[in-house]
Amino acid sequence: MERFHPASPESIIKALSDLGYVAEEDLAIVLFLVLTLRKPLLLEGPPGVGKTEVGLALSGLLKAPLIRLQCYEGLDLNQAVYEWNYQKQLLSIKLLESSGSSLRDKEDLIFSEEYILKRPLLQAITQADQSPVLLIDEIDRADEEFEAFLLELLSAFQLSIPEIGTVKATHKPYVILTSNRTRELSDALKRRCLYHWIDFPDFDKEMRIVEKKLPGIEEKLLKQVVGFVQKLRSRELAKQPGISETLDWAESLMTLGYRALDQKTLDHTLGIILKSNEDIKMIREEGIESLV
Amino acid sequence: MYTQAYSARSISSGMVGFFRYLRSHGFLIGLRETTEALEVAHTSLVRDKHRLKTALAALCCTSREELALFDRLFAAYWDTSPMDLAERKNQVTVRGQVRSKINTSLVLLGRGKGTGKEEEEATSVSGANAEERLRETDFSKIREIDEKPLEQLAERLFREFAVKMRRKLKATRKPGKVHLARTVRKSIESGGDPLKLFYTTRKLKKRRLVILLDVSGSMDKYSFYLLRFIYALKQEFSNLEAFVFSTRLISITRALRNMKLDSVLREVSHFASHWSGGTRIGECLRDFNRQYSKYVLHGSPAVIILSDGLETGNPVLLGSEMIKIRRRSKVLIWLNPLKGMKDYQPLAGGMKAALPSVDEFRAAHNLKSLLELEDLLTHV
């Protein structure tokens, strides 16, 4: 398959726009670098600004498979890299009992690739025909040991499996890491990555995003919704509404048949954008009109 | 070393000079980044200044703070032209900035007239140095311009600290060894083949933490930050119990769970101002022992008392109540902000009476001293 190779950031912006993703010039430049330098990209920013979406969009752009690893506390190699298929090994031993092959042969067989359950990271470097996009989501949630383990993958694009040896990438994956900054990542990891900070979109950009995703929305409602969310974000909230909240809210309003924001509408649907009881109470008490 | 781009002859040498300039400002840039930057210089990105900046920033920066600094340095390096400024003068200032480290070490060696203290007041550096300085600033001696950055730094560090502590203290989720007896017994189902492996699991042990914070007038400056510290810990430890006291004791565990930090701070300061006039640590601890210890001190948790130990009540009572708490806790830690002062001796009546029951007596006057609690709490 022909590999997509953009000549400039503009072509990335355009291609992404065709896919329904609104990209700013800065992000396009960074993605351009990812494709040129083949370096992993670390995206940081508040929750809900669309960091994960970048991975999805890139995979759409390259028409490459997306392999996603969601990190969490206690994530270990068994879930991230590989695991031996113990049951299959055991059954094979049973079947081989009467075959008369030597112990050595049996060992080689049951510790061959066929008996490995590939988890995301191993999948990412053993793709047969093209470079996949590897999305390592919320890396800050994983433990520090795991982060250290990633270093080998991110710089040399290879992994070590004790029983088999080093597995080199057949096609270098495009790697995107996201982090919500609940803890500082190690310098070693950061130095292996390109860095980009994504912030909440400004009014115009958010308008364009909503319009792109919900083409049928009426101009007036669109302006009100985005304006309201933008104002909310400037407030001290326990949980700031992200872009997906804006989209959900706009879509709900459309589905419910509202054509403009008013007190009643807000009362009914405030829970879609504000997810913390304290925030809802605070905004209700202050009166909603001031924000419309 | 070039201090501005115009003194370089080619884009490559300009780039190399720029990277040296970044390095001198604390950026961690290796050969690899330099090579990659030169690669970037051969793409179309180099034709547009904004694009080049974005691309280089992605290569060189590792945090949002660095991005901001990068912006300034980029402008300083690439955007100055010899026509705009008197060349010589400008170069001198930039050089001066870069060399500032060397100068300070000279001062410390005794060539300058200043002592360490003057040094501390005179510095207004940016980046990592500023953070280092803030970490060591006594909470009560914070200058007004430092308040905001210190608060932000404290919030970030406290949160990281809390996450780290929780991970360390959490009962491990990793399975233990294969439980042979159970595996063999269960293998009978599958005709003797141990298809399912069973592991021994370690018993979950809940770690508990009880914190008592003094919010009396004498602790004013400190309790503001200490409360933030407790708040951050509470976000990660569900079984943390917290109390504040001055002349009376109240539990703030629920407030910490349900309210935002600002509201907690407001409530507590309201509480503290209402019962001003001295600190009755002994009486408060007695109330604690009577009312709460049954619920809070079971299973011997770690107990931390944050107070300056300036008791206006009866020191003897304080001593005896401390013994009671000590008996029911695994470890009793007293953090005293005054201990950060030079020559401090725990001679005040209250502190003296309490000390025999205290396992660890430490300072808590700046961020650094609080973050050093890590080793202590890990080994509880």
CA distance A137 to A47: 12
Q: Which residue has the higher pLDDT, B335 or B247?
A: B335
pLDDT for A182: 76
Say yes or no: A152 contacts chain B, CB-CB below 8 A: no
Q: What is the DSSP letter of B38?
A: H
pLDDT at B93 over 50: no
CA distance B252 to B235: 13
pLDDT at A238 over 80: no
Nearest by CB: A196 against B58, B197, B259: B58
Say yes or no: A29 contacts chain B, CB-CB below 8 A: yes
pLDDT at B169 over 70: no
pLDDT at A29 over 90: yes
Q: Which residue has the higher pLDDT, B322 or B91?
A: B322
pLDDT for B108: 31
Each residue of B261-306: pLDDT tens digit?
778 888 777 777 665 567 788 889 999 988 888 788 877 788 999 9
Dihedral sign from CA coordinates of B46, B50, B51, B55: positive
pLDDT for A230: 92
Contact B63 A190 (CB under 8 A): yes
- Rounded mean pLDDT, B350-355: 85
The band of A289, judged by pLDDT with boundaries at 50, 70 and 90, is low
Nearest by CB: A36 against B28, B43, B64: B43
* Domain range B208-378, CATH class: alpha beta
- Rounded mean pLDDT, B189-208: 73
Contact B160 A187 (CB under 8 A): no
- Rounded mean pLDDT, A219-238: 88
H helix or E strand, kind and range, residue B104: helix B87-108
What residues of chain B lie within 8 A of the CB of A44, using their CB?
63-64
pLDDT for B293: 83
Contact B40 A37 (CB under 8 A): yes
**What's the mean pLDDT when you consider all of chain A?**
87
Say yes or no: B174 contacts chain A, CB-CB below 8 A: yes
pLDDT for B116: 37
Encoding tokens for residue B160?
A: 């990281």
pLDDT for A200: 92
| Sequence ranges of the domains in chain B | 5-126, 174-204, 208-378
Say yes or no: B40 contacts chain A, CB-CB below 8 A: yes
H helix or E strand, kind and range, residue A66: strand A66-70
Tokens 């355009």, residue located: A14
Say yes or no: A76 contacts chain B, CB-CB below 8 A: yes
Each residue of A154-202: pLDDT tens digit?
888 898 888 888 889 999 999 999 998 877 788 889 988 999 999 999 9
pLDDT at B91 over 80: no
H helix or E strand, kind and range, residue B214: strand B209-214
- Rounded mean pLDDT, B133-162: 78
- Rounded mean pLDDT, B334-347: 82
CA end-to-end span of chain B, whole Å?
A: 52
Say yes or no: A25 contacts chain B, CB-CB below 8 A: yes
The partner residues of B333 in beta bridges, in order of sequence, read B304, B360
Q: Considering chain A, what percentage of its residues have pLDDT values greater than 90?
A: 37
Contact B63 A44 (CB under 8 A): yes
User: How many of the other CB atoms lie within 10 Å of CB of B162?
Assistant: 21
B164 to chain A: closest CA residue: A183
Q: Which residue has the higher pLDDT, B156 or B19?
A: B19
pLDDT for A33: 92
Nearest by CB: A90 against B44, B61, B195: B195
Nearest by CB: B45 against A29, A236, A238: A29
Tell me how far the alpha carbon of residue A208 is from its chain's centroid.
Answer: 21
Residues 199-228 of A with CB under 8 A from B: none
Nearest by CB: A195 against B44, B62, B167: B62
Contact A191 B55 (CB under 8 A): no
**What's the mean pLDDT when you consider all of chain B?**
76
Phi, psi angles (nearest 5°) of residue B126: -110, 175
SS3 B251: strand
What residues of chain A lie within 8 A of the CB of B64, using their CB?
44, 197
Encoding tokens for residue B272?
A: 């503290």
pLDDT for B113: 35
CA distance A6 to A33: 10
Q: Are strands A41-44 and A66-70 parallel, antiparallel or unpaired?
A: unpaired
Tally C-beta pairs within 8 A across A and B: 79
SS3 A90: helix
Environment class of A179 (CB within 10 Å of its CB; exposed 0-12, middle 13-18, buried 19+): buried
Dihedral sign from CA coordinates of A30, A31, A37, A40: positive
CA-based radius of gyration for chain A: 24
pLDDT at B176 over 90: no
Nearest by CB: A74 against B44, B173, B195: B173
User: How many of the other CB atoms lie within 10 Å of CB of A223?
Assistant: 16
- Rounded mean pLDDT, B36-57: 86
pLDDT at B177 over 50: yes
pLDDT at B64 over 60: yes
- Rounded mean pLDDT, B49-61: 90
Contact A187 B28 (CB under 8 A): yes
A200 with A49: CB under 8 angstroms?
yes
Mutation for testing the B interface, residue in A33, A41, A151, A196 having most B CBs under 10 Å: A33
